[in-house]
Amino acid sequence: MADYLDCSTEDMARLAFCRRPVTDAATFRREVEQIAAYASVRAERLAQLLREIESIDALQAADRSTSSGQGFLMAARDRVGEEKDTAKDAGKKRRPRKDKGRGHKS
């Protein structure tokens, strides 16, 4: 992470003491720039990292709030009773058929 933020491990320790700014706040940019200056990290990388963390938090919160108990990502799975062969074959590549000398010339 220190390499990504272009800082030292000591700078990472300073960064650890900072509160995370709210990503949808109007003050986000200013707060990120202040934190980056304080911790001697790259502001644009810090902003990107904070937004990614916010996205992961939102997905995890959505996953916890589903009432089915199956999780947020269930929509990508087959439902019971649907064609199961399609799901099995979805990841397989189709190979062209080889002509085994049935009168066709190459």
pLDDT in tens, 75-91: 555 556 555 555 455 55
**pLDDT of 2-28, one tens digit each?**
999 999 999 999 999 999 998 777 899
In a domain, 46, yes or no: yes
In a domain, 93, yes or no: no
What single string gives the DSSP state of each residue in 79-100? PTTS-HHHHHHTTPPPPPPPP-
Residue 40 binned pLDDT confidence (cut-offs 50, 70, 90): very high
CA 63 – CA 56 distance, rounded (Å)? 11
In a domain, 16, yes or no: yes
In a domain, 90, yes or no: no
| Helix extents (H) in 7-105 | 9-16, 28-39, 43-65, 84-89
In a domain, 79, yes or no: no
In a domain, 10, yes or no: yes
In a domain, 73, yes or no: no
Q: What is the pTM of this model?
A: 0.57
- Domains: count for the chain: 1
- Domain range for residue 39? 2-67
In a domain, 89, yes or no: no
Residue 106 binned pLDDT confidence (cut-offs 50, 70, 90): very low
Give the burial string for 42-74 (b: 16+ CB within 10 Å, else e).
ebebbbebbeeeeeeeeeeeeeeeeeeeeeeee
